[in-house]
Amino acid sequence: MVKEALILALLLAGCATALAPVDNPRAVWCDHNQPRRDAVAETPRWVLDEINAQNAKGVEWCGWKP
């Protein structure tokens, strides 16, 4: 049983890929996101919170204008 677990652990460890380090993760986030302007009167509060959080991050990290 221990032998099989060790073999399985070694196989799983061999499948792991190392991600290349990113020089500026904020720039990557800015490149892949844009301001959200999709709120309507019926938008639930939790979605508004997500929209506001993304837009606030964009203002801070990317220089988006409110």
pLDDT at position 14: 64
Q: What is the DSSP string of 24-54?
A: -HHHHHHHH--------TT--HHHHHHHHHH
pLDDT at position 32: 96
**pTM exceeds 0.75:** no
DSSP 63: -
Span 1-59, pLDDT tens digits: 777 777 877 777 766 566 778 899 999 999 999 999 999 999 999 999 999 999 999 99
